[in-house]
Structure 1
C-alpha cells in the first residue's frame, strides 16, 4: 500500500492516517465485553488516539505517527507520547504504535547509524523501564506491512477503497448524489414549503444529535442537583437513612450514566439503566413526602420554627420528584426509546409527506457534514437491488459489503452516524424487488453500527412488501402530514403566509387540510388564480372537495392554466371513475380502464406530448396507483395490473356515495335489499366499506333529511352500537351541511351523549361553525336556560375533565382565538368562539378558566364589539364565576389596547351592566375590573357623560349579611344535600378553605358599621394624644420620652443580647420601675383632670406588656363567617345527587389550590365573595393595616384575592413546550 496516497481530510493526511488507525483498532476487538473509546483532541489526549476499555478496567491503547520513511521518524516525539500515555492511563495493558512505513532501511547519512528496528528495540526498552513496578505493558508496532495485512482482510476491503481513493466519497460527492435524487422527487419535495413536524425528532435521535443528548444530560443534571437534599436527618431523624442513601446512590449512578450519552454510534445509550435509577429514586422520595405530610397534619398545633424547615424539605422533595418525572417522560419518549435501532420503516398514506420528509432529512444531513445517500424506489427495477444502487451512485457493480464498509468508514471519519435513505419502496420494482430481498438488505446494513437505514413505503403496500417476520422486528412510524394543531399552524404560515393567502376562517379545518399534498395543491391553485382567500362558507365536506377539485382543474399544468377549459372534462373524469367504482361495487378501477375512461372525457383536447391525461391528473394529486391485493396469489410469471384509486380516501368515498345515491329514491329500501345493501351483511358494516358508510352518513341526511342509523334494516340500537355506523353518525355532525340537521338528529346525539361522555367534544367542534344549527348560539341558549347547579352538573363538570394537551379540541379553540386572528377573520366566527370561551368561565378547572380568559382578551383586542354583545348575552346568567371573568377579560383588553374609542364604549357598557342597577353584583373582582375600565376612561378623558363616577366607587349599596348560622343549622343543611365536604372545608379545624381563604380575608374587616365614626387604631389614638396633650409642652414631651425609653422592650433586649453573643445570664435588664413611677407622677401632675383621664385611657395601656394590651376594635366573628359561607354554598344549589363524585384534582401534598377544584369549592368561593362584598360595603377595614382602619378600596386591601393578571396574554407555543418537558431557568 502506498500510504502517501491516503485520502487527505480537511485537516490533512496526518489526521487521516490517525483516523484510519482508529478505525482498524475498532475492528480489532480484544475481548467480548470491551468498549472502544475515541480520544478527542489534536494528536490525541494523554498520548493516545483511542483505546479499548476491558471489563477489568485495563486498556489497550493506539498511537498513530504519520512518518512515510523510517529515517524520518522522530523517536523523541514517540517517547513523549508514550510517557504521556503511561502517566494519563495507569491501567494501560498494551500500547500499539502505528507507523505507515517498514523499519528496514538504515537511518542517517550514507547509510550510517542504527537500523529502524534497532531504534524500536532501544526505545521499547526505555519505555518498559518507565512502567511502574509490578505492572506490565506490552509495546507493539504496527508497521506498514502490518497495517496492509489488516486492510487485506475481507472485512476491511471497504476501508481500503475509501482511504486510498477507489471511491471519491467526499462531502461534495455525497451532496451531488443527494441533489440528483432530490431533483427526481420533483413535485414531492419543495424545500421552500418545508414544515417542521414532530417525526423529525426521530432522525435527531437515531443520528445521536447533540440537541437530544444535551436535553437528556440537562435533565439528568437537574435530578442530581435536586437530589442533594439539605439536612434531612436533622428534620426526619436517622430512621429514614435508608431512603436518603438510595437517593444519593442513584444520583451518583445517574451522573456516571450521563457521560455515556454520546454521538458515537457504537455506544448504545443507557436508557433503561437511567430509567431504573429514576424509578429507584422516586420510590425513595414518595415515602418521605408522605412522612412529611403526616408530620405536618399529625396534630392541630401552633406554628413552630421547625415548620419552616419541614416545608422547605417538602419543597425540595417535590422538586426532585418533579425532575424525576420530567426525565422519565423524556427517556420513555417513543422516539428516544428507538435510539439503538439500525433500521426504521416510515409508512403513511399518499400525499402525507414521506418523500418530502426524507428529502429534507437528506439535505439537512449533508449540511451537517454527515454521510448520507438517498435512493428513490422509482429508480429501482426488478434486478438485484445492490447492483442497482451502486450503479445509480456511479460506483458500477460492486460487492455490497465492500460498499457498506466504505460507507461506514466515511461515516466514521465524520464521527457521526451515516444515513441510507430509501424512499418509496412500493414504487419501481416494488413488490417484485423488495419482498424477497428486504430482509437480506437490512441484515447487511445492520452489521455496521454507525449506519442507519430509513425506508418509506405507502401504507397500502406495507403488508405486501414487508414480510410478517420482518414487520414484527423493525420499528415503524406513520407519517401523518400535519396532525397536530401546532403543525397545522406552521403549515399555514408556510403554505399560506408566504403566498399572501389568508387562513380559513375557522379553528377546525376539514381533515384534508392536514394532508400536505392537498394543502399545497390548493394553495398553488389559489396563487395561480391570484386569489388571497379561501372561499367563505366552505361548510360541509362536499363543498370543500368541490372547491379543491375546481382549483386543481383550473391549474393542471397542461397549457390552459387559469381558465375553466379543463374543469368540465376533469370533473367528468372524476365522476366517471366514481360511477365505475359504484357500479362494480369496488373501491378501485383497473389502471388501463382508468386511462381509457379519462381519455374519453378529454377527447376534445389534444394529449400533451409523452404523457396521458390520466398521468396529468395523477401528477396533480387526484389519483394514486395501488397494488392488486390478489397479486400475491396470482401467477408469478404474470405482472398484475395496478389499481386506480382517488388520492384521498374521503374524496373517493364521497364521490362513490354521490354516484350510488344519484338513482336512489328510497334509501331504506336501498339499504335493505337494493343498491346499498352490499355495505353490510345484516349484522354489521363490512370493513372495506367503513369509509363509504361515513360518507353516506353525511350525504343521506343532506339529500333525504333522514339519518342512516334510522334507515339501516333492523333495530336502531343495534346499529348504534356498530362503530362503523354509530361512529359515522357522530363524525357526520362535524362535516354535513347545516340544512341536514333535524330534531331527530339532536335526539340521537343526546342518546349517544347520555351513553358516553366522549361525544361531548362534538359540541365544541361545531361551536365555531357559522350557520351551524348547533353552534355556540345554540349552546348559549341551552345553557342560559338552566339554573347554575343544573348547568354545572351538565356543562361545567364536563369542561373540567377536558384535556388541554396539544391536539385537544379546547386547546385548539383557545389557541386559535389567542394567536390566529387577523383583519380578514370573520367577526361572526370570533363571536361564536367568544361565546364558547365565556361559558368555559363556569368551570372550576383553573387552568381552563385562565387560558380561556386570556384568549377572550385577545379576541376583544381584535374585535372590540364583543364586550357589549357578550354582556348583553350573559346579563341574565346566574353565575358570577362567568360574569367576573367576562369583565376581567375586557379590562385586560383596555389595558393592552386602551384607545379612546374602546375605553368610551367599554366604560359605558361596564357602567350600564355593573353599576347602573340597584344592586351591584356581589363579586369583588367583577367590581374591580368594571371600575378599572371606568377609571382608565376617566384618566384619558373619554368617559361617557352617562356615567356617574360616584356610583362606581365603593362602598356600594349592599345589604349587610347577618352572621347567625348555628352549627346545628349547618349540620342539617349538610345532611339534607347528602355531603359534608363543604362543611368540613369551611369550618373544620383542618379545613383548608377555612384556614387559608376565609380567615385571612374576613379578618381584614372590623365589626364596626360604616354608619359609625371611623374607628381609630391604638397607634392613631396614641399619636392624637401626643399631638393634643403632650407635644404642646416641652416638659411633658421630655417626661414621656424618658418613660418610653426605660420601659421594658423585648425586642430591644433581644438586640442587646445578640450583640453580646446571646449570653443570657450576663445580660440583665436594669430595674427602672421606681424611676418610671416617679416620672409618671410628674407627668400626671402637669395634666388637668380631663387630660389625666385621656392619658389613662388612650396612652397608659401602651406601657403594659404587649401580651396584656387590650384589643380595642371588635373584629368579625370568623367562626360565624365560616358557618355562613358553608350554609350559603349549600344554598347555591350543591347536592350530592347533582355532583356525586365531586373531587378536586391536580393537587399535591402542599396547601396550594388544586388545578381542578370540585364544584362545591366553586360555590364556596362564590359564597365567600358574596360575604366579602357585604363586608366591604358595610364595615370598616381592620386596624391591622399599617395606616389603621380605613374604607375598603380595592381587592389588594384583603390580600391576594386577585387570581389572574389579564394584561399578560398567552404565550404562543407555551403549551407545547410544557407538554414536551421544556425546562425554563428560574
Structure 2
C-alpha cells in the first residue's frame, strides 16, 4: 500500500508538486505545531524515549507515581490521543516534585532534567488541542506558504513510510470522481479504509491533506463533509487549508469547529529580505521597500522580476509592488500567448503588455464602475472578447486562472444561488490599480468628505481594508496638513486608522471627539514651539502612515530621520514619548533595529546609512529600555561599517541637552573604534569630542568615563602621548578608580556574542559590572589577614558555591581592591527615595509579586532576601564588624546581582530578562543604591 501511495503521489499533480517543493523551515513556530500534532511514529517514539529517561531519574529521586506517568504516556500516544490532558497534568506533578526536591550534590542534573521535562510538557500543552482533534485547519493570506508547507509535509511523510495523500483544490472539479479515479488507478478499493489499515499496521497515523479548499470549483461544503464523514473512527488525521477571505461562509462555519493554525509567511521579514537579497544579488533596501518581505510568494516574484529587469523607476512601497505585479502579469501573459499561439483575428500581433493594458486595467476599471472587487463570467468574457483573438475567451481565461494571474471563486450570492466570479490573485498589488480608477471618479471641485461619503465609494471600500490602506497610501494629497484634515470626519472611522494619531476608539462618536481633541493638542504643541505647522504635519503624518498603514521599513527610517532633524527639543521629546508608546510602533522599531545584525552594511549607500544612524541616535533617549539597548547596538554596527557616519552626529551632540543620549552615543563611538583600526578618524573624533566637552561641567559621570576610555584608546594606539582622566568636567570623585586590565576586559567581552552585535561597554557584564566594576565606585572590599581570620568560614562556603565565571570576578576584586573609599555624593542624583523605604519596598513588600513566591524557588529566594535584610539591620546598628558587613555585600552581589545574564545577553532573551517581573530583578537597582548608602554610613 505504501509503495502504491508513493507511486501515485509521484505521478499525481506532479507538475504542481515539482514547482512547490522548496526549502521550508519546519522549525518555525506555526509549522512545528502542525508537524508535531500529526503524531507520527517518529515523533511519538522520540518524545516517549525522552520522557522515559526523565521518569527513570525522578524515580531514583523518590517519586512514587512512576507507573501512573508511564501509563498515561502509553495511553496518550498509542491508544487514545484524547488523554493528552491527563499526561500533561501528571507531568506537571513530576515537575513540581523536581523543583521541591533538588539536592545540592546533583543540582546541575536536576536542573537539566527539570528543563527537559518542562520543555516537553510545554510543547505538548501547545499542541494538545491539535493532537485530540481529527481535523486540523490551516489558513493564511495568499502567498504565505500554505501549499508549500503541506506539500513538503506530504513528501516527508511518504518518504518515511507514513500513509499520506494530498489533494490540491485547484486541480479538482468533481471530487467524488477524483476519489474514484485514485482508487481505480491504485486498485485499493476504499481509499480511506486502506490508509487507516496501513496506518494501524505500521503504528502510524494516516494523513489526508486537502490544500486550498477555497479553490475547489464544486460545493466546498460537500467536500469537507465527505472527508470528515469518511475518517470518523479511523486512525486518520485530516488537514484542510484555505486562503483568508476566499472561503464560503457555509464552509467556514464547519471549519471553525476545529483547531486552526494561521500562517503569516516569514516570521522575520528582515532576515528573509537579507537571504533573498543575497540569493538574487539585490540590494536589501529594494526588497524592504517593496513592502512584501514577509510574503514568500510575492517576495519570490519581486526578486525574479527585479533581478531580470533592474530597478523600479524609483517608486516606493505599494507603487513598487504594483509595478512588479505589472511586470509579472505582462511576462506570464506573454508565456500564455506563446503557448497558445494567440494573435488577433485581423493578423496583428498580441503582446503581454497588451494583456496588461486591455485585460488587467479593464478589469480594474469595470470593478470600480460596478462598485465591487470581482467580476461575473459574462463581464470577464466581454473584456477578453473585445481583443478579437483567434483563441476562445474561455481558453484565455482558463490559462489566466491556471497561471494564478486571475482567481476563480464559486460565490454565494443569496437565495441559495451561486455564481462563478473572478478577481485578481494578487490582491494587495492589484488594489493600487483599482484605487487609481476609484480616485479618477473624484471631481476636482469635490471635497474629500463628499467623495468618501458617496454611495459608490462607500460600497467599493466597504469591508475591504486592503483597498482602504492602498487608497490612503497613494491618495494624491500634497501636504501633511491636508491629509490630517482628510482623516477628520470621514468614513475611515470604521477602520483602525485612529492609530495614525495615537488614538484608540470604540465608536464613531468617540472617534470624532478624540480626533478633534488630538488635533487641538498637536496644534498647541506646534504653536508653543514656533514650528512651521505645515512642515510638522507633513513629516508627522507621512511617517505615521508609512509605519502604521503600510510599514515600509526604509520609508519609516527616511521620514523619521528627517523629522528628527526638523523638530525642536520640546516637540521631539513629546513625539518620542507619545508615538513610541504605541505597541505596533515599538514592535516595528525593534524590527528595524535588527537590520544591521543580518545585513551586509557595506552594500548600503551612504545616504541610507545616514538615515539609519539618525533613527537609532534619537532612539537612545526613549523610555523603553529594550529599544534603547537594541538601538545602541545597531548604531554601533553602522559606525563600525563606516566611521565617517560619526561626524554628522558629533555636530548634533553639541546641542543635545539629554545627557543620557550623549552617554550612550559616546559608548557607541568607543565601541566602533575598538573594532575599527582607522587611527586617523579616531584622532579627529577624539579631538572634536574633547573640544565639545572640556568646557562643560557634566553631572553624568559615565560621560567622563567614556571620554577617558577614548583617551586611553588613543594613547594605546600612540595617537596621543599622555593619558587624561577628565576630572575637570565632572566633580572629582572621592573614590579611587582601579580599572580592570585590557586583557581581562577583552576576556569578558569575548563571552558576550558576535562582535557586530555588542557595544564594548562595561554594562555588558550585567548588574555586577554596572554597580561594582564601573567608575561609579571603587572595588570596595578591603581584604587583609584580619578579615580573612574573621571570615574564613563564610569565605570558604562562598567560594565553593561560585561558578567558574564568578570565581574569576571574585579573585579579580581581591587582587585589585586596595582600600575602602566610597563616593560621598549620591550614586544616582535622580534617586530621592528614603533608603529604608527602598529596602522595604524591594524586599518586604511582596503584594505586587505575590505569585512569584508561590513556588519552591521563589520561597527560597524570599528567605534569602529576608535573611539579608536582617543582617543589614545589624550592620546599621553596628552589631557586627565592618569587615563582615563587606562579606555580606559580596555574597549579596552573587545572590541577587550577577548570574548567567552575560552569557544570555545577545541570545534574543531580552523579554525574559528585562520585562518579566522575575524574582531576581525586584528592585535590584535601588537595592544596590541602598546597600552602598549603608556602606557609606559604616
> TM-score interval w.r.t. the shorter chain?
0.5 to 0.7
Deviates more, 1:811-820 or 1:549-558: 549-558
Q: Find out whether 1:623 has 2:454 as its counterpart.
A: no
- The 5-angstrom pairing of residues 49-448 of structure 1 reads 169-171=1-3, 173-185=4-16, 189-191=20-22, 198-208=29-39, 210=42, 256=70, 259-260=73-74, 264=78, 266-268=79-81, 270-276=83-89, 329-333=122-126, 335-382=127-174, 385=176, 388-395=178-185, 400=190, 403-431=191-219, 434-448=220-234
Say which of 470, 479, 485 aligns to 2:268.
485
Task: Give SS of 1:388's match.
Answer: helix
Q: Report deviation, 1:659.
A: 0.8
- Superposed displacement of residue 359, structure 1: 1.5
Which is worse superposed, 254-263 or 347-356? 254-263
d(CA) in 2 for partners of 1:1208, 1:867: 30
How far apart, CA to CA, are the structure 2 residues paired with 1:1216 and 1:892?
Answer: 24
**Paired position in structure 2 for 1:723:** 495
Name the counterpart of 1:582: 368
Output the CA distance in 1 between the equivalents of 2:377 and 2:212.
Answer: 19
Q: What secondary structure, in the 3-state scheme, does the structure 1 residue paired with 2:282 have? A: coil
Alpha-carbon distance in structure 2 between the residues aligned to 1:485 and 1:886: 28
What is the TM-score normalised by the length of structure 2?
0.67
**Hey, what's the Cα distance between the residues in 1 that align with 2:64 and 2:73?**
15
Contact 1:818/1:1210 (CA < 8 Å) preserved in 2?
A: no
Q: Distance in 2 between matches of 1:708 and 1:1123?
A: 49
- Give the alignment partner of residue 696 of structure 1, picking from 442, 455, 471: 471
Shift of 1:203: 3.3
Aligned length: 771
- C-alpha distance 220-1216 of structure 1, shift in aligned 2 (>3 A): farther
Please state if 1:895 is matched with 2:674. Answer: yes
Cα distance change, pair 998–746 in 1 and its aligned pair in 2 (3 A): same
1:649 equivalent to 2:437? Answer no
Asked if structure 2 preserves the Cα contact closer than 8 Å seen for 1:502 and 1:824, the reply is: yes
The reply to whether residue 866 of structure 1 matches residue 656 of structure 2 is: no
2:636 and 2:777 map into 1 onto residues whose CA distance is: 34
Select 1:541's aligned residue among 296, 299, 318.
318
What is residue 523 of structure 1 aligned with on the other side? Answer: 303
CA distance in 1, matches of 2:646, 2:898: 21
Once residues 880 and 612 of structure 1 are traced to their aligned partners in structure 2, the CA distance between those partners, rounded to angstroms, is 70
Higher helix share: 2
Question: Aligned ranges for residues 874-885 of structure 1 at < 5 Å?
Answer: 874-885=653-664
Contact 2:376-2:421 within 8 A present in 1 as well: yes
2:825 counterpart residue number? 1121
Q: In the TM superposition, what is the alpha-carbon distance from 1:589 to its structure 2 partner?
A: 1.3
Aligned equivalents of 2:717 and 2:241: distance in 1? Answer: 63
Change in Cα spacing, 1:765 to 1:686, as seen in structure 2 (3 Å) is closer
In structure 2, what is the Cα distance between the partners aligned to 1:952 and 1:1146? Answer: 50
For residues 972-993 of structure 1, what are the alpha-carbon distances to aligned partners after superposition, in whole Å with 9 as ceiling and x for unaligned?
A: xxxxxxxxxxxxxxxxxxxxx9
DSSP-derived class of the 1:447 partner: coil
Aligned to 1:672: 450
8 Å contact from structure 2 (residues 145, 296) kept in 1: yes
- What is the 5 A alignment of 1:486-885? 489-490=271-272, 493=275, 495-505=276-286, 509-510=290-291, 512-529=292-309, 531=310, 535=312, 537-554=314-331, 556-558=333-335, 565-601=351-387, 603=388, 612-630=395-413, 633-634=416-417, 640-666=418-444, 668-669=446-447, 672=450, 676-680=454-458, 687-702=462-477, 710=485, 716=488, 721-723=493-495, 726=498, 743=533, 762=548, 768-769=554-555, 772=558, 774-779=559-564, 781-782=566-567, 785-786=569-570, 791=573, 795=576, 808-843=587-622, 845-885=624-664
User: When the two structures are superposed, what TM-score results if normalisation uses the length of structure 1?
Assistant: 0.53
After superposition, the Cα gap between the structure-2 partners of 1:220 and 1:1004, relative to the gap in structure 1 and judged at 3 Å, is farther
Say if 1:344 and 1:455, in contact at 8 Å, map to a contact too: yes
User: 2:682 aligns to what?
Assistant: 906
1:514 deviates by 3.0
What CA deviation, in whole Å up to 9, does each residue of 1:29-82 have, x standing for no partner? Answer: xxxxxxxxxxxxxxxxxxxxxxxxxxxxxxxxxxxxxxxxxxxxxxxxxxxxxx
| 3-state SS in 2 of match to 1:369 | coil
Per-residue deviation, residues 826-849 of structure 1 (Å, max 9, x unmatched): 333333222222333334654443
Are residue 462 (structure 1) and residue 247 (structure 2) matched? Answer: yes
CA–CA distance in structure 2, aligned partners of residues 708 and 279 of structure 1: 56
- Tell me how far 1:539 sits from its aligned partner: 1.8
Output aligned runs, 1:1199-1214, within 5 Å: none
Q: How far apart, CA to CA, are the structure 1 residues paired with 2:44 and 2:638?
A: 37
Deviation at 1:473, TM superposition (A): 2.7
Are 1:1004 and 2:778 matched, yes or no?
Answer: yes
1:584 Cα offset (Å): 1.4
Following the alignment from structure 2 to structure 1, what is the Cα–Cα distance between the partners of residues 106 and 624?
29
1-side partners of 2:724 and 2:716: how far apart? 15
Change (3 A) 1:204 1:1115: closer
Query: Please, which runs of 5 or more residues in structure 1 have no aligned partner?
Result: 1-168, 230-247, 290-308, 635-639, 732-741, 964-992, 1007-1016, 1020-1043, 1059-1112, 1131-1142, 1151-1182, 1185-1197, 1222-1226
2:238 matched to 1:453?
Answer: yes
In 1: Cα distance, 2:449 partner to 2:783 partner: 89
Give the CA deviation at 1:909: 0.6
> d(CA) in 2 for partners of 1:208 and 1:436?
27
List per-residue Cα deviations over 1:766-789 (Å, max 9, x = no partner): 7742795x422313553x6139xx
Q: Distance in 2 between matches of 1:1147 and 1:537?
A: 55
Deviations 1:590-616 (A, max 9, x none): 134224314535x5x765x99844445
Secondary structure (helix, strand or coil) at the match of 1:453 reads: strand
8 Å contact from structure 2 (residues 406, 423) kept in 1: yes
- The root-mean-square deviation of aligned C-alpha atoms, in Å, is 5.8
Q: How far, CA to CA, are the matches of 2:277 and 2:217 in structure 1? A: 37
**CA contact 1:694–1:725 (8 Å) conserved in 2:** no
Aligned to 1:242: none
Deviation at 1:905, TM superposition (A): 0.8
Separation in structure 2 between the aligned mates of residue 564 and residue 928 of structure 1, nearest angstrom: 72
Q: Secondary structure at the match of 1:842?
A: coil
**Higher Cα radius of gyration:** 1
What is the CA–CA distance in structure 2 between the aligned matches of 1:680 and 1:415, rounded to whole Å? 57
Secondary structure of residue in 2 paired with 1:886:
helix
User: 3-state DSSP class of the match of 2:372?
Assistant: coil
C-alpha displacement of 1:437: 4.9
In structure 2, relative to structure 1, the CA distance for the partners of 1:413 and 1:316 (3 Å cut) is closer
**Residues 1058-1107 of structure 1: CA distance to partner in whole angstroms, max 9, x if unpaired?**
9xxxxxxxxxxxxxxxxxxxxxxxxxxxxxxxxxxxxxxxxxxxxxxxxx
Q: CA deviation at 1:1216?
A: 11
Deviations 1:635-657 (A, max 9, x none): xxxxx541111113333433222
Q: 2 CA distance for matches of 1:537 and 1:835?
A: 22
Are 2:484 and 2:537, in contact at CA under 8 Å, matched by a contact in 1?
Answer: no
Partners in 1 of 2:549 and 2:728 — Cα distance? 40
Shift of 1:365: 1.2
Deviation of 1:1208 after TM superposition, in Å, equals: 10
Query: Aligned to 1:430, what secondary structure does the other structure show?
Result: coil
1:1143-1175 Cα distance to aligned partner (Å, 9 max, x none)? 99999789xxxxxxxxxxxxxxxxxxxxxxxxx
Contact persistence 2:58–2:98 (CA under 8 A): no
